[in-house]
Amino acid sequence: AQSVTQPDIHITVSEGASLELRCNYSYGATPYLFWYVQSPGQGLQLLLKYFSGDTLVQGIKGFEAEFKRSQSSFNLRKPSVHWSDAAEYFCAVGSYGGATNKLIFGTGTLLAVQP
């Protein structure tokens, strides 16, 4: 069965420090992979996606993620965190289609940014 694991429930980083949020997935074929961000009281905003091709994908707000098939991982990175990045981050895996066309989300990582 498809699944997504985000091992870090809560992370605190200092403003200006680098960030890496971990995501591991379980899927029988090459998946569609996504990172979404959710600010308090808001819906989900897409940061970036991976479908195929270059395994390093760039997203909005200076985020990037790297798809590593051998490790079944899709970690999110940012070289320098800003206070406005404080939010909850969700990794998701999607199916190609057919009857199971939906997103499976991880449990999320709550990011706090210290001044």
Per-residue contact flags (x/-) with other proteins for residues 8 to 37, judged by CB under 8 A: ------------------------x-x-x-
Asked if 43 touches other proteins (CB under 8 A), the answer is yes
Q: List binders of other proteins among 80-99 (CB under 8 A).
A: 90, 94-97, 99
Asked if 100 touches other proteins (CB under 8 A), the answer is yes
Q: Is 92 left (phi over 0), alpha (psi -120 to 50) or beta?
A: beta
Asked if 105 touches other proteins (CB under 8 A), the answer is yes
Smallest gap from Cβ 17 to other proteins, in A, equals 27
Among positions 45, 55, 71, 114, the unique one binding other proteins when judged by CB under 8 A: 45
Strands 32-38 and 87-94: antiparallel
Contact at 8 Å (CB) between 22 and 75? yes
Determine the Cα–Cα distance for residues 85 and 38; give it in Å rounded to an integer.
10
Rounded to 5°, the CA angle 20-106-65 comes to: 35
30 alpha carbon, distance to own chain's centre: 16
Which residues are at the interface with other proteins (CB under 8 A)?
32, 34, 36, 41-46, 49, 51, 90, 94-97, 99-108
